[in-house]
Structure 1
């Protein structure tokens, strides 16, 4: 099980490296890594369990964030339209994910983005694509394709960035951090 002490922090060089693509079948160690990445997210989003382990809540955790330069990331995105707060929109480990198409329209979270590997504040809009199509492999080596929009699209782009050595604050305009394209969507 990963704890906060296992999450590497910026400026660790592994966060700026391009992660190694995986081949199938995955090794037992790689499958365990996938399990541990998802386990962190599940526990971090459970208030009782999180109280025990003191994790920072997360919706995504990439292998480079736990010092494994491998193209694997876990995402656990709550369904914001769920009426009881327990619904899950997406729970998946993405192996070798990549964005294969995207919208011209941009989107950003009104409150900005955060990252388990970045302790410093980086105010500003993290401008990303409002809609993306992502291709990836599941743990069994099956190729998958999914279309995402708004918050789930932002989460997955953030995680895929981790596999390419990009951190969220790289997307913030240095000159105008709180400006966005007038056609863009500000999610809040």
Structure 2
């Protein structure tokens, strides 16, 4: 039986740490139709994110809250990720992306004023991470159906963060090496908040 199945609960012990080789390489495409094992893994990833928003489960299992989770962060070399985002009035939006590709992006950029974090990075990293304000992504859903989605603002940031993971890029690679709080000079860039 595969490690990640419907009864398995992902906890912090399952996370690959930031210096792992797996986080620095391009992940492998998922077969379409999506194999059962990959669907189970993706559902377990989504469940972790939902659990990580529950104060009781956070305390009981010592979970770190997360908005997105890529397969390689739990040691699975597959091009897929899950995300749980809170939009207007705390409405939850759950997403799963398989073999995602950014089709287009805005010229304008945004950044989170508090910086970005990562479930695989167990230390504070201070600085601004420039991201495209809007992106259009093509991917497959868990049923193996292709879709195209336009994202903006916080959702765009989370999806770019996770696609970077699938490409072996860590969020701090996008920060200015000399001054982590310096933003690109040649583009229009604003704080998200």
Calculate the TM-score normalised by the size of structure 1: 0.94
* 2:55 corresponding residue in structure 1: 47
Is 1:15 paired with 2:23? yes
* 2:109 corresponding residue in structure 1: 106
What are the equivalent positions in structure 2 for 1:37-186 lying under 5 Å apart? 37-79=45-87, 81-82=88-89, 85=90, 87-88=91-92, 90-181=93-184, 183-186=188-191
1:187 to partner: Cα distance: 1.6
Is contact 1:17–1:69 with CA below 8 Å preserved after alignment?
A: no
Aligned length: 183
**What CA RMSD, in Å, does the superposition of the two structures yield over aligned residues?**
1.1
Is contact 2:27–2:168 with CA below 8 Å preserved after alignment?
A: yes
Q: Deviations over 1:35-85 (max 9, x none)?
A: 110010000011122222111000000000000010010010111x21xx3
Question: 2:184 & 2:17 partners in 1: Cα distance?
Answer: 31
- Structure 1: which 5+ residue stretches go unaligned? none
Is contact 1:34–1:74 with CA below 8 Å preserved after alignment?
A: yes
SS at match of 1:21: coil
SS at match of 2:52: helix
Is contact 2:136–2:148 with CA below 8 Å preserved after alignment?
A: yes
Q: Which runs of 4+ in 1 moved over 3 A?
A: none
Is 1:187 paired with 2:192? yes
